[in-house]
Structure 1
Amino acid sequence: MAVSPFPAAAQAYQCRVPARVAVPNVRPDGPARRMPVTGYVLALSWAPEFCKGRERRAADAVQCSGANGRFGLVVHGLWPQGRSNWPQWCPTTRKPSPADIRANLCISPSARLQGRQWAKHGACMVRTPAAYAKVTRILYQGLRLPDFDQLSKDPELNVGLIRRRFAAANPGWRADAVGVKLNQRGWLEELRLCYDRRFMPAPCGRRLGPPDRAPVRIWRGL
Protein backbone atom coordinates (compact mmCIF):
# COMPACT_ATOMS: atom_id res chain seq x y z
CA MET A 1 0.00 0.00 0.00
CA ALA A 2 1.41 3.37 -0.95
CA VAL A 3 1.39 6.16 1.59
CA SER A 4 1.55 9.81 0.63
CA PRO A 5 4.72 11.74 1.51
CA PHE A 6 5.22 13.04 5.04
CA PRO A 7 4.32 16.68 5.70
CA ALA A 8 7.28 18.95 5.05
CA ALA A 9 7.60 19.55 8.78
CA ALA A 10 8.30 15.89 9.46
CA GLN A 11 11.24 15.01 7.20
CA ALA A 12 9.54 14.89 3.81
CA TYR A 13 10.65 11.50 2.52
CA GLN A 14 8.43 9.02 0.69
CA CYS A 15 7.30 5.88 2.52
CA ARG A 16 5.67 2.71 1.23
CA VAL A 17 4.22 0.29 3.78
CA PRO A 18 4.86 -3.40 2.95
CA ALA A 19 1.81 -5.46 2.00
CA ARG A 20 2.49 -7.89 4.86
CA VAL A 21 3.80 -7.16 8.34
CA ALA A 22 5.03 -9.88 10.70
CA VAL A 23 4.43 -9.36 14.43
CA PRO A 24 7.69 -10.15 16.26
CA ASN A 25 8.13 -12.26 19.38
CA VAL A 26 10.19 -10.40 21.99
CA ARG A 27 12.04 -11.80 24.98
CA PRO A 28 13.29 -9.60 27.84
CA ASP A 29 17.05 -9.12 27.97
CA GLY A 30 17.08 -7.57 31.44
CA PRO A 31 15.18 -7.42 34.72
CA ALA A 32 11.65 -6.10 35.10
CA ARG A 33 11.55 -2.71 36.86
CA ARG A 34 8.31 -1.13 38.04
CA MET A 35 8.40 2.43 39.39
CA PRO A 36 6.44 5.68 39.22
CA VAL A 37 6.80 7.49 35.88
CA THR A 38 8.24 11.01 36.24
CA GLY A 39 8.59 11.90 32.56
CA TYR A 40 9.28 10.61 29.07
CA VAL A 41 11.93 10.62 26.34
CA LEU A 42 11.05 10.42 22.66
CA ALA A 43 14.16 9.05 20.95
CA LEU A 44 14.49 9.94 17.26
CA SER A 45 17.12 8.06 15.27
CA TRP A 46 18.86 9.64 12.27
CA ALA A 47 18.16 6.98 9.63
CA PRO A 48 21.01 7.78 7.17
CA GLU A 49 23.56 7.14 9.93
CA PHE A 50 21.79 4.02 11.21
CA CYS A 51 21.56 2.56 7.71
CA LYS A 52 25.22 3.03 6.83
CA GLY A 53 26.38 -0.54 6.10
CA ARG A 54 22.91 -2.01 6.75
CA GLU A 55 21.48 -1.48 3.26
CA ARG A 56 21.43 -5.20 2.47
CA ARG A 57 20.39 -6.53 5.90
CA ALA A 58 17.01 -8.23 5.71
CA ALA A 59 16.17 -7.24 9.29
CA ASP A 60 16.52 -3.55 8.38
CA ALA A 61 15.06 -3.72 4.87
CA VAL A 62 12.10 -1.38 5.40
CA GLN A 63 14.28 1.43 6.71
CA CYS A 64 17.52 0.88 4.84
CA SER A 65 17.03 -0.92 1.51
CA GLY A 66 15.46 2.03 -0.30
CA ALA A 67 12.62 -0.18 -1.56
CA ASN A 68 10.17 1.35 0.91
CA GLY A 69 11.36 4.94 0.68
CA ARG A 70 13.94 7.19 2.30
CA PHE A 71 13.85 8.29 5.91
CA GLY A 72 15.27 11.11 8.03
CA LEU A 73 14.55 11.29 11.75
CA VAL A 74 12.47 8.27 12.74
CA VAL A 75 11.16 7.06 16.07
CA HIS A 76 13.47 4.75 17.98
CA GLY A 77 11.12 4.64 20.95
CA LEU A 78 9.09 6.44 23.59
CA TRP A 79 10.64 5.75 26.99
CA PRO A 80 9.04 6.38 30.39
CA GLN A 81 11.48 7.72 32.98
CA GLY A 82 11.80 7.32 36.76
CA ARG A 83 13.55 9.43 39.39
CA SER A 84 16.87 7.60 39.41
CA ASN A 85 16.33 4.94 36.75
CA TRP A 86 13.67 3.96 34.24
CA PRO A 87 10.91 1.35 34.24
CA GLN A 88 11.30 -1.54 31.83
CA TRP A 89 9.98 -4.98 30.87
CA CYS A 90 6.78 -4.63 32.88
CA PRO A 91 4.97 -8.00 32.61
CA THR A 92 2.37 -8.19 29.83
CA THR A 93 0.85 -10.85 27.63
CA ARG A 94 -0.11 -8.34 24.95
CA LYS A 95 1.81 -7.60 21.78
CA PRO A 96 1.16 -5.26 18.85
CA SER A 97 -1.22 -6.36 16.12
CA PRO A 98 -0.23 -6.01 12.45
CA ALA A 99 -2.54 -2.97 12.32
CA ASP A 100 -0.73 -1.34 15.27
CA ILE A 101 2.63 -1.80 13.56
CA ARG A 102 1.44 -0.66 10.13
CA ALA A 103 -0.01 2.53 11.60
CA ASN A 104 3.47 3.63 12.73
CA LEU A 105 5.69 1.99 10.12
CA CYS A 106 6.38 5.25 8.27
CA ILE A 107 7.62 6.92 11.47
CA SER A 108 9.26 3.84 13.00
CA PRO A 109 10.19 1.66 10.00
CA SER A 110 10.88 -1.67 11.72
CA ALA A 111 8.28 -4.12 13.01
CA ARG A 112 10.97 -5.77 15.14
CA LEU A 113 11.87 -2.47 16.78
CA GLN A 114 8.24 -1.53 17.40
CA GLY A 115 7.56 -4.87 19.08
CA ARG A 116 10.58 -4.50 21.33
CA GLN A 117 9.80 -0.90 22.27
CA TRP A 118 6.28 -1.86 23.35
CA ALA A 119 7.48 -4.83 25.42
CA LYS A 120 10.40 -3.02 27.07
CA HIS A 121 8.96 0.48 27.52
CA GLY A 122 5.33 0.85 26.44
CA ALA A 123 3.96 -1.80 28.78
CA CYS A 124 5.24 0.27 31.70
CA MET A 125 3.20 3.36 30.73
CA VAL A 126 -0.10 2.31 29.04
CA ARG A 127 -2.30 -0.76 28.93
CA THR A 128 -2.30 -1.61 25.23
CA PRO A 129 0.11 -1.59 22.29
CA ALA A 130 -2.43 0.45 20.31
CA ALA A 131 -2.38 3.21 22.96
CA TYR A 132 1.44 3.23 23.00
CA ALA A 133 1.52 3.51 19.21
CA LYS A 134 -1.05 6.32 19.26
CA VAL A 135 0.77 8.41 21.88
CA THR A 136 4.06 7.96 20.01
CA ARG A 137 2.43 8.98 16.73
CA ILE A 138 0.80 12.08 18.25
CA LEU A 139 4.07 13.29 19.74
CA TYR A 140 6.05 12.72 16.54
CA GLN A 141 3.49 14.30 14.24
CA GLY A 142 3.29 17.35 16.49
CA LEU A 143 6.97 18.19 15.93
CA ARG A 144 8.46 20.60 13.40
CA LEU A 145 11.76 19.04 12.40
CA PRO A 146 14.54 21.24 10.99
CA ASP A 147 16.07 20.38 7.62
CA PHE A 148 18.96 18.19 8.74
CA ASP A 149 20.35 17.86 5.23
CA GLN A 150 20.79 21.63 5.14
CA LEU A 151 22.00 21.74 8.74
CA SER A 152 24.74 19.23 7.93
CA LYS A 153 26.34 21.80 5.60
CA ASP A 154 26.36 24.69 8.10
CA PRO A 155 29.98 25.80 8.74
CA GLU A 156 29.07 26.59 12.38
CA LEU A 157 27.56 23.15 13.03
CA ASN A 158 27.98 21.83 16.56
CA VAL A 159 25.71 20.15 19.10
CA GLY A 160 24.41 23.48 20.38
CA LEU A 161 23.30 24.53 16.90
CA ILE A 162 21.21 21.37 16.58
CA ARG A 163 19.51 22.13 19.89
CA ARG A 164 18.89 25.78 19.01
CA ARG A 165 17.50 25.01 15.56
CA PHE A 166 15.11 22.44 16.99
CA ALA A 167 13.93 24.80 19.75
CA ALA A 168 13.46 27.64 17.24
CA ALA A 169 11.29 25.42 15.03
CA ASN A 170 9.09 24.29 17.95
CA PRO A 171 7.51 27.05 20.08
CA GLY A 172 7.53 26.10 23.75
CA TRP A 173 10.74 24.08 23.49
CA ARG A 174 14.07 25.09 25.04
CA ALA A 175 17.48 23.87 24.00
CA ASP A 176 18.00 22.05 27.31
CA ALA A 177 15.03 19.77 26.50
CA VAL A 178 16.79 18.49 23.37
CA GLY A 179 19.20 15.64 24.10
CA VAL A 180 21.74 14.70 21.44
CA LYS A 181 23.50 11.35 21.06
CA LEU A 182 26.61 10.99 18.91
CA ASN A 183 28.34 7.78 17.93
CA GLN A 184 31.98 7.12 18.78
CA ARG A 185 33.12 8.83 15.57
CA GLY A 186 31.23 12.04 16.35
CA TRP A 187 28.36 11.58 13.88
CA LEU A 188 24.74 12.36 14.85
CA GLU A 189 22.95 9.20 15.96
CA GLU A 190 19.83 10.37 17.79
CA LEU A 191 17.84 13.24 19.23
CA ARG A 192 16.35 12.51 22.65
CA LEU A 193 13.45 14.84 23.32
CA CYS A 194 12.54 15.18 26.98
CA TYR A 195 9.03 15.61 28.42
CA ASP A 196 7.50 15.86 31.88
CA ARG A 197 4.58 13.70 33.04
CA ARG A 198 2.13 15.92 31.13
CA PHE A 199 4.12 15.52 27.90
CA MET A 200 5.37 19.09 28.06
CA PRO A 201 9.04 19.80 27.18
CA ALA A 202 11.32 19.46 30.21
CA PRO A 203 15.09 19.71 30.87
CA CYS A 204 16.85 16.49 29.88
CA GLY A 205 19.34 16.23 32.74
CA ARG A 206 21.32 13.02 32.29
CA ARG A 207 19.85 12.52 28.80
CA LEU A 208 21.21 15.84 27.49
CA GLY A 209 24.38 14.39 25.97
CA PRO A 210 27.48 16.31 24.83
CA PRO A 211 27.96 20.02 25.62
CA ASP A 212 26.83 22.62 23.11
CA ARG A 213 30.39 23.28 21.92
CA ALA A 214 30.98 19.63 20.96
CA PRO A 215 31.61 19.16 17.22
CA VAL A 216 29.23 16.93 15.27
CA ARG A 217 28.84 15.65 11.73
CA ILE A 218 25.59 14.60 10.05
CA TRP A 219 25.69 11.84 7.43
CA ARG A 220 23.31 12.54 4.54
CA GLY A 221 23.43 9.08 3.00
CA LEU A 222 25.44 10.18 -0.03
Structure 2
Amino acid sequence: MQMGFAFMAVVALFSATPSIAQAWQCRAPKYLPRPALELPGPGQIRRTSIGGYTLALSWSREYCRGRDRDPVMRFQCSGEIGDFGFVLHGLWPESNGPNYPQYCRKVGVLRREIISRNICMTPTPQLLQHEWAKHGTCMAKTPDAYFGAARLLFNAVQFPDMDRLSRQVERGTPLTAAGLAQAFADINDGLPAHSVKVITNGKGWLQEVRICLGKDLKPRRCPRYAQGLAEPSAIKVWRGR
Protein backbone atom coordinates (compact mmCIF):
# COMPACT_ATOMS: atom_id res chain seq x y z
CA MET A 1 0.00 0.00 0.00
CA GLN A 2 2.90 2.37 0.60
CA MET A 3 4.36 4.68 -1.98
CA GLY A 4 7.53 3.68 -3.78
CA PHE A 5 10.35 5.97 -4.82
CA ALA A 6 8.52 6.77 -8.07
CA PHE A 7 5.95 8.71 -6.08
CA MET A 8 8.60 11.24 -5.15
CA ALA A 9 9.43 11.82 -8.81
CA VAL A 10 6.04 13.41 -9.49
CA VAL A 11 6.42 16.89 -11.00
CA ALA A 12 3.94 19.40 -12.45
CA LEU A 13 1.09 17.02 -13.18
CA PHE A 14 -1.33 19.77 -14.12
CA SER A 15 0.81 22.47 -15.71
CA ALA A 16 4.34 23.04 -16.90
CA THR A 17 4.36 26.41 -15.13
CA PRO A 18 4.81 26.53 -11.34
CA SER A 19 1.89 28.03 -9.46
CA ILE A 20 1.83 31.40 -7.77
CA ALA A 21 2.27 30.79 -4.05
CA GLN A 22 -0.94 30.80 -2.05
CA ALA A 23 0.91 31.73 1.13
CA TRP A 24 1.75 35.37 0.51
CA GLN A 25 4.94 36.45 2.32
CA CYS A 26 4.80 33.35 4.53
CA ARG A 27 7.87 32.75 6.67
CA ALA A 28 8.16 29.91 9.13
CA PRO A 29 8.69 31.32 12.62
CA LYS A 30 11.85 30.50 14.56
CA TYR A 31 9.88 28.73 17.26
CA LEU A 32 7.16 26.24 16.43
CA PRO A 33 5.28 24.20 19.02
CA ARG A 34 5.22 20.45 18.57
CA PRO A 35 1.74 19.02 18.08
CA ALA A 36 0.07 16.53 20.37
CA LEU A 37 0.37 12.84 19.68
CA GLU A 38 -2.58 11.46 17.73
CA LEU A 39 -3.53 7.81 18.05
CA PRO A 40 -6.41 5.98 16.37
CA GLY A 41 -9.52 5.34 18.38
CA PRO A 42 -11.31 2.01 18.61
CA GLY A 43 -12.26 0.73 15.16
CA GLN A 44 -10.47 3.55 13.29
CA ILE A 45 -7.62 1.48 11.86
CA ARG A 46 -8.45 0.52 8.27
CA ARG A 47 -5.87 -0.99 5.93
CA THR A 48 -7.84 -1.20 2.68
CA SER A 49 -6.11 -1.13 -0.69
CA ILE A 50 -5.44 2.19 -2.45
CA GLY A 51 -7.38 2.91 -5.63
CA GLY A 52 -6.52 6.60 -6.03
CA TYR A 53 -5.89 9.81 -4.13
CA THR A 54 -7.53 13.13 -3.25
CA LEU A 55 -5.69 16.43 -3.03
CA ALA A 56 -7.81 18.56 -0.67
CA LEU A 57 -7.32 22.34 -0.89
CA SER A 58 -8.97 24.44 1.81
CA TRP A 59 -10.03 28.05 1.23
CA SER A 60 -8.36 29.62 4.24
CA ARG A 61 -10.26 32.94 4.09
CA GLU A 62 -13.52 31.16 4.92
CA TYR A 63 -11.99 28.87 7.51
CA CYS A 64 -10.40 31.81 9.34
CA ARG A 65 -13.56 33.92 9.44
CA GLY A 66 -13.98 34.71 13.14
CA ARG A 67 -10.85 32.73 14.10
CA ASP A 68 -8.24 35.49 13.77
CA ARG A 69 -7.82 35.62 17.56
CA ASP A 70 -8.02 31.88 18.19
CA PRO A 71 -4.63 30.87 19.65
CA VAL A 72 -4.96 27.37 18.21
CA MET A 73 -5.26 28.85 14.70
CA ARG A 74 -2.69 31.59 15.30
CA PHE A 75 -0.36 30.72 12.41
CA GLN A 76 -3.08 30.28 9.79
CA CYS A 77 -5.51 32.99 10.80
CA SER A 78 -3.78 35.84 12.64
CA GLY A 79 -1.60 37.08 9.75
CA GLU A 80 1.48 36.54 11.92
CA ILE A 81 3.38 34.40 9.42
CA GLY A 82 1.55 35.21 6.19
CA ASP A 83 -1.71 35.83 4.37
CA PHE A 84 -3.24 32.59 3.11
CA GLY A 85 -5.56 31.84 0.21
CA PHE A 86 -5.75 28.13 -0.57
CA VAL A 87 -3.82 25.87 1.79
CA LEU A 88 -3.32 22.14 1.68
CA HIS A 89 -5.78 20.31 3.89
CA GLY A 90 -4.20 17.02 2.94
CA LEU A 91 -3.25 14.34 0.45
CA TRP A 92 -5.54 11.40 1.08
CA PRO A 93 -5.42 7.80 -0.13
CA GLU A 94 -8.72 6.53 -1.49
CA SER A 95 -10.03 3.01 -1.93
CA ASN A 96 -12.34 1.71 -4.65
CA GLY A 97 -15.27 2.78 -2.48
CA PRO A 98 -15.99 4.92 0.57
CA ASN A 99 -13.91 2.84 3.03
CA TYR A 100 -10.58 4.58 2.44
CA PRO A 101 -7.50 3.42 4.36
CA GLN A 102 -6.59 5.31 7.53
CA TYR A 103 -4.34 5.07 10.58
CA CYS A 104 -2.37 2.22 9.05
CA ARG A 105 0.18 2.28 11.87
CA LYS A 106 0.94 4.20 15.04
CA VAL A 107 3.49 7.00 14.75
CA GLY A 108 5.18 9.50 17.04
CA VAL A 109 5.06 13.28 17.11
CA LEU A 110 6.43 15.12 14.09
CA ARG A 111 9.83 16.76 14.40
CA ARG A 112 9.91 20.56 14.43
CA GLU A 113 12.00 20.57 11.23
CA ILE A 114 9.17 18.83 9.35
CA ILE A 115 6.60 21.27 10.71
CA SER A 116 8.82 24.22 9.74
CA ARG A 117 9.27 22.85 6.22
CA ASN A 118 5.52 22.51 5.67
CA ILE A 119 3.95 25.25 7.80
CA CYS A 120 3.51 27.57 4.79
CA MET A 121 1.61 24.83 2.95
CA THR A 122 -0.48 23.57 5.89
CA PRO A 123 -0.24 26.33 8.49
CA THR A 124 -1.45 24.39 11.55
CA PRO A 125 0.99 22.07 13.37
CA GLN A 126 -1.76 19.83 14.73
CA LEU A 127 -3.29 19.40 11.28
CA LEU A 128 0.11 18.31 9.93
CA GLN A 129 0.27 15.71 12.70
CA HIS A 130 -3.28 14.58 11.95
CA GLU A 131 -2.68 14.22 8.21
CA TRP A 132 0.47 12.18 8.76
CA ALA A 133 -1.13 9.92 11.37
CA LYS A 134 -4.43 9.36 9.58
CA HIS A 135 -3.48 9.43 5.89
CA GLY A 136 0.28 9.51 5.44
CA THR A 137 0.88 6.29 7.34
CA CYS A 138 -1.06 4.43 4.65
CA MET A 139 1.05 5.92 1.86
CA ALA A 140 4.66 6.44 2.92
CA LYS A 141 7.26 5.05 5.28
CA THR A 142 8.38 8.46 6.52
CA PRO A 143 6.75 11.88 7.04
CA ASP A 144 9.43 13.43 4.81
CA ALA A 145 8.31 11.24 1.90
CA TYR A 146 4.63 11.90 2.51
CA PHE A 147 4.87 15.67 2.86
CA GLY A 148 7.43 15.88 0.07
CA ALA A 149 4.95 14.26 -2.33
CA ALA A 150 2.15 16.49 -1.04
CA ARG A 151 4.28 19.60 -1.66
CA LEU A 152 5.05 18.54 -5.21
CA LEU A 153 1.37 18.12 -5.97
CA PHE A 154 0.28 21.28 -4.18
CA ASN A 155 2.95 23.37 -5.89
CA ALA A 156 1.91 21.99 -9.28
CA VAL A 157 -1.58 23.49 -9.01
CA GLN A 158 -2.35 26.85 -10.60
CA PHE A 159 -5.06 28.79 -8.79
CA PRO A 160 -7.70 30.94 -10.49
CA ASP A 161 -8.32 34.57 -9.56
CA MET A 162 -10.55 34.03 -6.55
CA ASP A 163 -11.11 37.74 -5.99
CA ARG A 164 -12.58 38.08 -9.48
CA LEU A 165 -14.68 34.94 -9.12
CA SER A 166 -15.98 36.08 -5.75
CA ARG A 167 -17.35 39.26 -7.32
CA GLN A 168 -19.40 37.47 -9.99
CA VAL A 169 -22.39 37.28 -7.67
CA GLU A 170 -22.16 41.02 -6.96
CA ARG A 171 -22.28 41.64 -10.72
CA GLY A 172 -25.35 39.46 -11.11
CA THR A 173 -23.60 36.36 -12.50
CA PRO A 174 -23.91 33.34 -10.18
CA LEU A 175 -20.82 31.31 -9.44
CA THR A 176 -21.58 27.61 -9.48
CA ALA A 177 -19.67 24.51 -8.47
CA ALA A 178 -19.28 23.68 -12.16
CA GLY A 179 -18.01 27.20 -12.85
CA LEU A 180 -15.31 26.98 -10.18
CA ALA A 181 -14.27 23.51 -11.33
CA GLN A 182 -14.00 24.86 -14.89
CA ALA A 183 -11.94 27.82 -13.65
CA PHE A 184 -9.41 25.36 -12.20
CA ALA A 185 -9.48 23.31 -15.40
CA ASP A 186 -8.94 26.38 -17.59
CA ILE A 187 -5.76 27.39 -15.81
CA ASN A 188 -4.28 23.90 -15.31
CA ASP A 189 -3.26 21.94 -18.41
CA GLY A 190 -4.29 18.32 -18.06
CA LEU A 191 -6.83 18.93 -15.28
CA PRO A 192 -10.39 18.34 -16.55
CA ALA A 193 -13.32 19.87 -14.70
CA HIS A 194 -14.69 16.41 -13.92
CA SER A 195 -11.62 15.83 -11.70
CA VAL A 196 -12.62 18.69 -9.37
CA LYS A 197 -15.14 18.61 -6.54
CA VAL A 198 -16.31 21.67 -4.60
CA ILE A 199 -17.32 21.69 -0.92
CA THR A 200 -19.24 24.47 0.84
CA ASN A 201 -20.61 24.99 4.32
CA GLY A 202 -24.31 24.98 5.12
CA LYS A 203 -24.66 28.62 4.05
CA GLY A 204 -23.12 28.09 0.62
CA TRP A 205 -19.68 29.59 1.31
CA LEU A 206 -16.70 27.87 -0.32
CA GLN A 207 -14.76 25.66 2.07
CA GLU A 208 -12.70 23.34 -0.08
CA VAL A 209 -11.71 22.24 -3.57
CA ARG A 210 -10.78 18.57 -3.98
CA ILE A 211 -8.86 17.18 -6.93
CA CYS A 212 -9.35 13.50 -7.70
CA LEU A 213 -6.23 11.57 -8.70
CA GLY A 214 -5.69 8.05 -9.95
CA LYS A 215 -3.12 5.57 -8.67
CA ASP A 216 -0.69 7.15 -11.13
CA LEU A 217 -1.32 10.54 -9.44
CA LYS A 218 -2.78 11.98 -12.62
CA PRO A 219 -6.22 13.63 -12.54
CA ARG A 220 -9.12 11.23 -12.97
CA ARG A 221 -12.89 11.59 -13.10
CA CYS A 222 -14.08 11.85 -9.52
CA PRO A 223 -15.77 8.60 -8.46
CA ARG A 224 -19.44 8.56 -7.56
CA TYR A 225 -18.76 8.28 -3.84
CA ALA A 226 -16.58 11.44 -3.80
CA GLN A 227 -18.14 14.21 -1.74
CA GLY A 228 -19.01 17.45 -3.49
CA LEU A 229 -21.75 19.75 -4.68
CA ALA A 230 -23.92 19.12 -7.70
CA GLU A 231 -22.61 21.07 -10.69
CA PRO A 232 -25.44 23.67 -10.80
CA SER A 233 -25.12 24.51 -7.09
CA ALA A 234 -24.47 28.19 -6.40
CA ILE A 235 -21.48 29.07 -4.23
CA LYS A 236 -20.15 32.18 -2.52
CA VAL A 237 -16.48 33.03 -1.83
CA TRP A 238 -15.45 34.96 1.27
CA ARG A 239 -12.62 37.34 0.42
CA GLY A 240 -11.60 38.01 4.00
CA ARG A 241 -11.36 41.15 6.03
Q: Normalising by structure 1, what TM-score?
A: 0.93
CA distance in 1, matches of 2:146, 2:23: 24
The residue aligned with 1:3 is none
1:187-198 superposed matches below 5 A = 187-198=205-216
Whether 2:230 is the aligned partner of 1:216: answer: no
Question: Percent identity between the aligned chains?
Answer: 40
CA distance in 2, matches of 1:180, 1:116: 22
SS at match of 1:220: coil
Letter in structure 1 aligned against 2:20: A
Contact persistence 1:158–1:212 (CA under 8 A): yes
Letter in structure 2 aligned against 1:220: R
CA distance in 2, matches of 1:111, 1:195: 25
Whether 2:214 is the aligned partner of 1:200: answer: no
Q: Normalising by structure 2, what TM-score?
A: 0.86
Cα drift, residue 191 of structure 1: 0.4
The residue aligned with 2:56 is 43
The residue aligned with 2:111 is 97
Contact persistence 1:178–1:204 (CA under 8 A): yes
Larger relative contact order (CA 8 Å, sep ≥ 6): 2
1:123-162 superposed matches below 5 A = 123-154=137-168, 155-162=173-180
SS at match of 2:84: coil
SS at match of 2:133: helix
Please give the root-mean-square deviation of Cα atoms over the aligned residues, in Å.
Answer: 1.5
Cα drift, residue 54 of structure 1: 0.8
User: Which stretches in structure 1 are left out of the alignment for 5+ residues?
Assistant: 1-6
Whether 2:125 is the aligned partner of 1:111: answer: yes
User: Which stretches in structure 2 are left out of the alignment for 5+ residues?
Assistant: 1-17
Query: Taking structure 1 as reference, are residues 135 and 87 closer, same or farther at Cα in structure 2, changes over 3 Å only?
Result: same
Cα drift, residue 11 of structure 1: 2.8
Letter in structure 1 aligned against 2:142: T
CA distance in 1, matches of 2:161, 2:130: 29
